[in-house]
A and B are shown apart, each in its own frame.
Chain A
């Protein structure tokens, strides 16, 4: 079954599998809904009018295409390969999350759904969901861990301004995984009218596929832009990984290009050996959670362990199933960066490029310097600047000992 050549890459298969990963591990009540969503998505994908409408909103509302920017001073600083940023932090709402939300809300409308739910960790996906709901006049309920509500107050206020109801989740440990549990509980309770906008390329099939497809606009644009600016494909792509939607969005259009290295950077938190991290591939093993089989942080009994990262957006004990597959096949490489390393990269980028990155891409940047040196002068790297850091200034200030 496995594609013979990487340029024949055609995952997922008809069962929603990326190799051994993915699938549809949901309660029976949700199975018919998940199957209906798959059918609706197939039809939408084949419908030119749907794609045209999505393209229109991406251009005029989201602000695509996002620039591909040569980060000249960082390149000089590291003294190796040329570093380009794919600037998805310039999108409306400040991150790549809106690419996916725009696709899913158009799909929800097409399916006649009248109520939207979403989960959020850092609040970026919640804000993007609330934004598209405001734009299309649909009620929106966002589930957010109580711990995250406390540490991401500006985004909570933003969501409420946009008309969303933010529900703090106190079950479990009150973080992203619990928010996702609660969103699934809402969905199973409101099967007739509700569409669940999942924020990352994980969950039951077809979510990993459709989120990837909606985020692949990042990689398609980057490919065209680098060919235009450099006349060739890059040597490597780098992106941060929580669930992995920005990374798979950048990687996917390049998977068939064997000469392009794909490098995902997980959050190592306090360091992998401390056990307090969010690196599911490096520090976890395969299991089943939230509708899919993938790498998870878990104990010997199969109980899920809480993740830790300074970045609330990476603070998740799992990873999208396509990354699990790309990891096992070796097509993509996965490394990690600690909280400290991300904080250093965060400050470096602000000082040298005048760009305050979100803490998520700061993790990617933390590994980009070494990679640039390894590839060397004459090489080209594209890093996904998937979000801006305005949301993070409070937690960064606290870590740096500055009172705001």
Chain B
């Protein structure tokens, strides 16, 4: 019943009257041990939900930062099975409460087998799954298995998704809906929170679920702006880029990434307080 972890987390955030900070990192990037150190540190840095990318050789919806992160992880030997091992270890050694949502592409899951994957993911302590290249029209075989295992299939809604289609998109979804704030790949264009607000409202109404906004959220200011209009702000490319910079500078990436995550988390946590104070 891992779905409960997501529901409880969003209920708690709602009770606190603030938005959540969703931190995306790539499993196994830049190497298994450093990646685990980062993952372990994220809850203390203020991550309310962790999105853990599982690498794919051909990530069609990613911009350069996450493409490179996937290549680093693959080069360091990461596999989908390895990703589940990491989650299992995280639950055993670090944290029982922070929801973990895996995010990636369909082919590794298809190769693993939908049924076996859903069960193994649930056993490892995975709460949700986002599959970028699996739209609702193709999702039923996977959704059946995830439902049986109690793992949420989290959907993406995009600026191109109109009202009519939105009904299809939110069918069989749970946990939250991920609103893609810009038409584009991850980490390139920048979010305009004002323009996104009506869409968030639309998705919230259609789904009855919390809405997290990602793609194009890079700075604490942008994360705060998103936190004022959505239930959660997702930051990915800025975090994985921090890994790349640290490697280039010969620094240990873990403390640097966690520092960046903490700054983003703080901006998200205080966003609504700040806007109330201004008002």
Q: A residues engaging B (CB < 8 A)? A: 15, 23-33, 171-172, 177-178, 181, 184-185, 188-191, 287-291, 296, 298, 300-304
Q: Is the CB of A29 within 8 A of B107?
A: no
Nearest-Cβ distance from residue B196 to partner chain A, whole angstroms: 14
Nearest-Cβ distance from residue B161 to partner chain A, whole angstroms: 6
Can you list, as one digit per residue, whether each of B159-187 has a CB less than 8 Å from chain A (1) or not (0)? 11110010001000000000010011100
Residues of A contacting B67 in the complex (Cβ-Cβ under 8 angstroms): 171-172
Residues of B contacting A185 in the complex (Cβ-Cβ under 8 angstroms): 60-61, 63, 184-185
Question: Could you tell me which residues of chain B, from 79 to 131, have a CB within 8 Å of some CB in chain A?
Answer: 79-81, 105-112
B13 lies within 8 A of chain A by Cβ: no
Question: Could you tell me which residues of chain B, from 13 to 71, have a CB within 8 Å of some CB in chain A?
Answer: 55-61, 63-64, 67, 71
Choose the segment among B150-158, B206-214, B240-248, B250-258 that binds chain A (4+ C-beta atoms closer than 8 Å).
B150-158
The 17 listed contacts between A and B (C-beta, < 8 Å) are A25-B106, A27-B156, A28-B155, A28-B160, A29-B61, A29-B180, A33-B160, A171-B67, A185-B60, A188-B185, A189-B188, A287-B107, A288-B110, A289-B107, A302-B80, A303-B108, A304-B58
Q: Is the CB of A290 within 8 A of B60?
A: yes
Task: Indicate the member of A190, A287, A289, A302 with the most B CB atoms within 10 Å.
Answer: A302
Residues of A contacting B58 in the complex (Cβ-Cβ under 8 angstroms): 172, 177-178, 181, 289-290, 304
- Which residue on chain B has the smallest CB distance to residue A296? B107
Nearest-Cβ distance from residue A20 to partner chain B, whole angstroms: 11
B197 lies within 8 A of chain A by Cβ: no
Residues of B contacting A301 in the complex (Cβ-Cβ under 8 angstroms): 79-81, 108, 111
CA distance A304 to B110 in the complex (A): 13
Residues of A contacting B278 in the complex (Cβ-Cβ under 8 angstroms): none
Residues of B contacting A300 in the complex (Cβ-Cβ under 8 angstroms): 111
CA distance A243 to B272 in the complex (A): 52
Please tell me the size bucket of the interface on B: 35 or more
Q: Is the CB of A25 within 8 A of B79?
A: no
- Which residue on chain A has the smallest CB distance to residue B55? A303
Among A181, A188, A291, A302, point to the contact of B108 (Cβ < 8 A).
A302
B266 lies within 8 A of chain A by Cβ: no
Nearest-Cβ distance from residue B133 to partner chain A, whole angstroms: 5
Task: Indicate the member of B105, B108, B157, B160 with the most A CB atoms within 10 Å.
Answer: B160
Q: Is the CB of A28 within 8 A of B157?
A: yes
CA distance A298 to B155 in the complex (A): 26
Q: Is the CB of A287 within 8 A of B184?
A: no
- Which residue on chain A has the smallest CB distance to residue B81? A301
Task: Indicate the member of A171, A172, A185 with the most B CB atoms within 10 Å.
Answer: A185
Residues of B contacting A178 in the complex (Cβ-Cβ under 8 angstroms): 58
With A188-B185, A302-B112: A32-B162 Cβ-Cβ less than 8 Å:
yes
Q: B residues engaging A (CB < 8 A)? A: 55-61, 63-64, 67, 71, 74, 79-81, 105-112, 132-135, 137-138, 155-162, 165, 169, 180, 183-185, 188-189
Q: Is the CB of B111 within 8 A of A23?
A: no
Among B57, B109, B155, B184, point to the contact of A172 (Cβ < 8 A).
B57
Among B57, B71, B183, point to the contact of A29 (Cβ < 8 A).
B183
Q: Is the CB of A28 within 8 A of B158?
A: yes
- Which residue on chain A has the smallest CB distance to residue B77? A301
Q: Is the CB of A189 within 8 A of B184?
A: yes
Nearest-Cβ distance from residue A265 to partner chain B, whole angstroms: 26
CA distance A26 to B105 in the complex (A): 10
Q: Is the CB of B135 within 8 A of A25?
A: yes
- Which residue on chain A has the smallest CB distance to residue B169? A28
Nearest-Cβ distance from residue B254 to partner chain A, whole angstroms: 25
Residues of A contacting B74 in the complex (Cβ-Cβ under 8 angstroms): 303
- Which residue on chain A has the smallest CB distance to residue B162? A32
Residues of B contacting A291 in the complex (Cβ-Cβ under 8 angstroms): 133
Among B61, B71, B107, B112, point to the contact of A188 (Cβ < 8 A).
B61
- Which residue on chain B has the smallest CB distance to residue A185? B185
Closest 5 CB pairs of A and B: A302-B111, A302-B108, A29-B158, A189-B184, A301-B79
CA distance A54 to B18 in the complex (A): 58
Q: Is the CB of B111 within 8 A of A189?
A: no
Residues of A contacting B157 in the complex (Cβ-Cβ under 8 angstroms): 28
Q: Is the CB of A188 within 8 A of B106?
A: no
User: In the complex, given contacts A31-B161, A188-B61, A191-B160, what are 14 additional A-B residue pairs having Cβ atoms less than 8 angstroms apart?
Assistant: A25-B106, A29-B158, A29-B159, A30-B160, A31-B137, A32-B161, A32-B162, A184-B60, A188-B60, A191-B159, A288-B106, A288-B133, A300-B111, A303-B108
- Which residue on chain B has the smallest CB distance to residue A29? B158
Q: Is the CB of A24 within 8 A of B110?
A: no
Nearest-Cβ distance from residue A145 to partner chain B, whole angstroms: 13
Residues of A contacting B135 in the complex (Cβ-Cβ under 8 angstroms): 24-28, 31
With A23-B138, A28-B135, A181-B60: A287-B111 Cβ-Cβ less than 8 Å:
yes
Nearest-Cβ distance from residue A169 to partner chain B, whole angstroms: 11
Residues of B contacting A171 in the complex (Cβ-Cβ under 8 angstroms): 64, 67
CA distance A184 to B105 in the complex (A): 15
CA distance A66 to B248 in the complex (A): 56
Residues of A contacting B134 in the complex (Cβ-Cβ under 8 angstroms): 25
With A31-B165, A177-B58, A189-B183: A298-B107 Cβ-Cβ less than 8 Å:
yes
